[in-house]
Structure 1
């Protein structure tokens, strides 16, 4: 079957046959960006001096100015969520 002996034993005892609780987890996400930060990222990438740049270029320029909003990957995720095209 392609499962471990331990999994088979648990299934035979009835463990793990209940509803998959991972799909119904209601715990809050503590590291989720606030809407204010997301909006600030969108505002920055729409500024004329940054509009033709990628997050790979924007984040270091902001750091040179002493401003850190989020990582490059977070910039990309926010842009994707807002259907914003990178240069």
Structure 2
């Protein structure tokens, strides 16, 4: 299943529903420009600046707040999450 959820206001609900409709051995592919491939350490000064910048972009363009794939996966107790850099 392939879906884009970058403009979904409630990403948790979107991913939960995608997970709900998958078969037990199903796979979900999400390609999201706002979910950057680089790992951003929010504790670092640079990480805080990047997250702040992404959130300001989201506010300016009426997009949902930025959230990492890892954060959503943890909230939904998803397993076998893989991310990749396609640049």
Q: TM-score, normalised by structure 2?
A: 0.26
Higher strand share: 2
Structure ranking higher on relative contact order (CA contacts 8 Å, 6+ apart) = 2
Q: TM-score, normalised by structure 1?
A: 0.26
Q: Which has the larger radius of gyration?
A: 1
